[in-house]
Amino acid sequence: MSFLVARDLRKTYGPVTALADIGLDVEEGEFVTLLGPSGSGKTTLLMAIAGFTRPDSGTISLAGRDITGVEPEDRDFGFVFQGYALFPHMSVADNIAFPLKVRKWDRARVDARVEEMLGTVGLADLARRKPRELSGGQQQRVAIARALAFHPKILLLDEPLSALDRTLRETMQRELKRLHRQTGVTFLYVTHDQEEAIAMSDRIAVFQKGRIVQVGAPRDLYYAPSTRFVAGFLGVNNLVDARLVRGADGAVEIEALGARVALPPGKVADLPEGPATVFMRPEDIALEPTPGEPALAIAGTVADVSFVGSFDLVVIEPRGGPEITAHLPADRTRALPVGAPITVFVRADAIGVVPNT
């Protein structure tokens, strides 16, 4: 049995279903991210696990013990709030000492642990400052140090980096990963930023309208999304309406953007014939077919070309469908004026197919 287990959690607010039959298993020491758009129920689940929100039904258990009815103060879970929620009337050191003092640690032990935590998050010089005298990134570190100081069983983090600017966010992502490795504490992390989720997590649970639609390692979700929603949410994907056609000999063909290609056997074993959604990553779209491999040949016109660094981002308007985006080598795009006709190729094994819903 897993370390933290949520079973059949439901929570409704009037007509809104914030959580609909959520099930989630987290192993000890894992870094699991709850990823989903705004309003999909991530905070509600985190608050239920922390004990602040009582679910309408379902259970939460930790190391085999049912904790659904346990008060937050008795759970021993660290919580890093959106906006940090530092105690404004206490110094940095007193903020970090707070959980230790309520646990009646003796003075020497508290001081030693505060010192240690300040060192861990690199704030040793700012121990006497008040929270309002700190930058956003520094407040963030205090909040994390405070939540980790008392050796929590789990650390819950609700969009801790959303208020920081891009560069600082990347630094803090690395910092959090380091803290996770260093402390071995189980991290349950909420974000709506898919890059952040992919960069940090052991596993990601994707939320949609109060449900977890897919759980898996970042790579699995990226390469094998199970629904159109997940495919669209993870990574920049071209999502295109398509038709699945099954031949007599078990061969499967896909028809999209006015073109048609046979898919490798076994790719879409469980999908019925008929409408489906196809996704293609921009980096899998090329100007020439790979010799000897079947490819979908998409004909259209160039709608836009923009330089983004190592490649050019080309928007193509296919004859039979919505715009798609391709990453093409910069040395080849000079010959692509806007409005010029173009044909691009996507290898059949790089094409993903998911159900339409």
Partner 1 sequence: MRPFDRWAVGLTVPAVLLTTLFYVLPIAQVLVLSVTEPAPGLANYEQLLGSRAVARVVMTTLEVSLWTTALTIAASYVVAYALVQMRPSVRRVALFMVLVPFWISVLVRAFSWITILRREGLVNLAVTGLGIVDEPLQLVHNRTGVIIGMVHYMMPFAVLLIYANLAGIDRRIMQAGRSLGARPMTVFWKLWVPLSAPGIAVATLFVFIFSLGFLITPTLLGAGRTVMVAEYISVQITNTLRWGVATGLSTMLLVAVGFVVFIAMRQPALRAAFSGRQG
Ligand X SMILES: Nc1ncnc2c1ncn2[C@@H]1O[C@H](COP(=O)(O)OP(=O)(O)OP(=O)(O)O)[C@@H](O)[C@H]1O
Q: In the complex, which residues of this chain contact ligand X (CB under 6 A)?
A: 13, 16, 18, 36, 38-44, 192
* Binding at 40: pick from ligand X, Mg ion, partner 1, none (beta carbon under 5-8 Å per type): ligand X
Q: What part of residues 200-259 is at the interface with partner 1 (CB under 8 A)?
A: none
Whichever of 91 and 325 has its CB closer to partner 1, that residue is 91
* Binding at 39: pick from partner 1, ligand X, Mg ion, none (beta carbon under 5-8 Å per type): ligand X
The two structure tokens encoding residue 129:
């400052």
Whichever of 95 and 191 has its CB closer to ligand X, that residue is 191
Among 114, 144, 147, 161, binds partner 1 (CB under 8 A): 147
155 to 174: interface string for partner 1, x by CB under 8 A: -x------------------
| Residue 186: C-alpha distances to residues 37, 49, 52, 60, 148 (Å) | 23, 13, 19, 16, 11
The two structure tokens encoding residue 168:
């600082």
The two structure tokens encoding residue 127:
């121990």
Minimal distance, residue 176 CB to ligand X, in Å: 18
65 to 84: interface string for partner 1, x by CB under 8 A: ------xxxxxxxxx-xxx-
- DSSP secondary structure letter of residue 272: P
* Binding at 189: pick from Mg ion, ligand X, partner 1, none (beta carbon under 5-8 Å per type): none
Whichever of 163 and 261 has its CB closer to Mg ion, that residue is 163
C-alpha of 127 from chain center: 33
The answer to whether 98 contacts partner 1 (rule: CB under 8 A) is yes
Whichever of 43 and 333 has its CB closer to ligand X, that residue is 43
Whichever of 39 and 294 has its CB closer to ligand X, that residue is 39
37 to 76: interface string for Mg ion, x by CB under 5 A: ------x---------------------------------
142 to 181: interface string for Mg ion, x by CB under 5 A: ----------------------------------------
C-alpha of 54 from chain center: 25
Minimal distance, residue 14 CB to partner 1, in Å: 13
| Residue 231: C-alpha distances to residues 76, 265, 348, 354, 356 (Å) | 36, 21, 17, 8, 11
Minimal distance, residue 248 CB to ligand X, in Å: 47
Among 36, 99, 216, 318, binds partner 1 (CB under 8 A): 99
Sheet holding 31-35, edge to edge: 77-80, 154-158, 186-191, 31-35, 203-208, 211-216
Q: Strands, E, within the chain: which ranges? A: 4-13, 16-26, 31-35, 57-62, 65-66, 77-80, 154-158, 186-191, 203-208, 211-216, 238-246, 252-256, 259-263, 274-280, 285-286, 295-307, 312-318, 324-328, 341-347, 352-354
DSSP result, 55-103: -SEEEEEETTEE-TT--GGGT-EEEE-TT----TTS-HHHHHHHHHHHT
The amino acid at residue 209 is K
Whichever of 53 and 238 has its CB closer to partner 1, that residue is 53
* Binding at 18: pick from ligand X, Mg ion, partner 1, none (beta carbon under 5-8 Å per type): ligand X
* Binding at 331: pick from Mg ion, partner 1, ligand X, none (beta carbon under 5-8 Å per type): none
DSSP result, 280-314: E-GGGEESSPPTTS-EEEEEEEEEEEEE-SSSEEE
Q: Which residue's entry shows tokens 């990134």?
A: 137
Contact (CB, 8 A) for 262 and 252? yes
Identify the bridge partners of residue 24 per DSSP, sorted by sequence position: 6
Sites of contact with partner 1 (CB under 8 A) = 50, 52, 71-79, 81-83, 85-90, 98-99, 102-103, 130, 132, 146-147, 150, 156
